[in-house]
Amino acid sequence: MNLILFGPPGSGKGTQAEILINKYNIVQISTGDMLREEVKLGTELGKTAKSIMDNGDLVSDEIIMSMIEKRIIKPDCKNGFILDGFPRTLKQAKDLDNILNLFDILIDKVIEINVNENILLKRILKRASESKKTRDDDNSEILKNRIVVYKKDTLPVLEYYKNLNKLYSVDGMQNVAEVSKDIQKILT
Ligand code: AMP
């Protein structure tokens, strides 16, 4: 099973991905995690990405696609994967389709975790205050910018999958167990 999990920062996307990878024995592919790893390793790619990430803006489609291309064909993806934080632009979504076509891979479903924006902002500010700066992009101004970027660049991607009849939405204002239950319903 190949899935895409959508949701703005603070929507509980990471928690739900964790539940799904354990239940279905599939891998999570998070472009954010991959980029943070490159930053940690101090690679050229990491150096380019760091300042962009620190501002809460989007890393270029070229960088993201080069990472995805290599990742998606690894043997551990055979049983399925969850794309988390990707695709974030229409260009990425279309490029992804081209790559998947080449390898005869299909995205089964795209799940959107829907959250009320005001409550979301409260949640992410709480996360920022509790995080003790574990992530450089976890402070209120940057997080606000990330939501703006999400709306501008990423919401059109949802429209794209809606037109392909692959989009399913769950109410992300419920607790973790309830959101998880709703996702299970979509997947069975
Ligand atoms: P995330 O952990 O998914 O919230 O990603 C953290 C940051 O990495 C984002 O704010 C972007 O700067 C960058 N990033 C992650 N995934 C992508 C993507 N698919 N396209 C562009 N930038 C990305």
Q: Residue 46: CB within 6 Å of ligand 1?
A: no
88 in active site: yes
Closest atom, ligand 1, to C-alpha of 9 = 4
23 in active site: no
What are the extents of the domains in the chain? 2-180
pTM: 0.90
Sign of the CA dihedral with 19 first, then 164, 118, and 33 last: positive
The pLDDT profile of the chain, 188 residues, written as one tens digit per residue, is: 999 999 887 788 999 999 999 999 999 999 999 999 999 999 999 999 999 999 989 999 999 999 999 999 999 999 999 999 999 999 999 999 999 999 999 999 999 999 887 777 777 777 767 766 566 666 778 878 888 898 899 999 999 999 999 999 999 999 999 999 999 999 99
pLDDT at 136: 63
Q: Residue 31: CB within 6 Å of ligand 1?
A: yes
The rounded Å distance from CA 32 to ligand 1 centre is 5
What number of other Cβ atoms are within 10 A of residue 172's Cβ? Answer: 24
144 contacts 123 by C-beta, under 8 angstroms: no
Q: What is the DSSP track for the chain? A: -EEEEE--TTSSHHHHHHHHHHHHT-EEEEHHHHHHHHHHHT-HHHHHHHHHHHHT-PPPHHHHHHHHHHHHTSGGGTT-EEEES---SHHHHHHHHHHHHHTT----EEEEEE--HHHHHHHHHHHHHHTTTSSTT-SHHHHHHHHHHIIIIIHHHHHHHHHTT-EEEEETTS-HHHHHHHHHHHH-
36 in active site: no
13 in active site: yes
Catalytic residue among 36, 50, 123, 146: 146
Rounded Cα distance between 89 and 76, Å, is 25
Q: Residue 10: CB within 6 Å of ligand 1?
A: no
Rounded Cα distance between 119 and 10, Å, is 10
pLDDT at 134: 61
The rounded Å distance from CA 4 to ligand 1 centre is 15
> CATH says 2-180 is which class?
alpha beta
What number of other Cβ atoms are within 10 A of residue 116's Cβ? Answer: 12
Q: Residue 56: CB within 6 Å of ligand 1?
A: yes
Catalytic residue among 36, 71, 88, 123: 88
Q: Residue 86: CB within 6 Å of ligand 1?
A: yes
Query: CA angle, corner 169, sides to 168 and 174, nearest 5?
Result: 145
Number of residues in the chain: 188
96 contacts 87 by C-beta, under 8 angstroms: yes
pLDDT at 2: 97
pLDDT at 151: 87
Rounded Cα distance between 188 and 169, Å, is 15
Name the closest-CA residue to atom 15, ligand 1.
Answer: 32
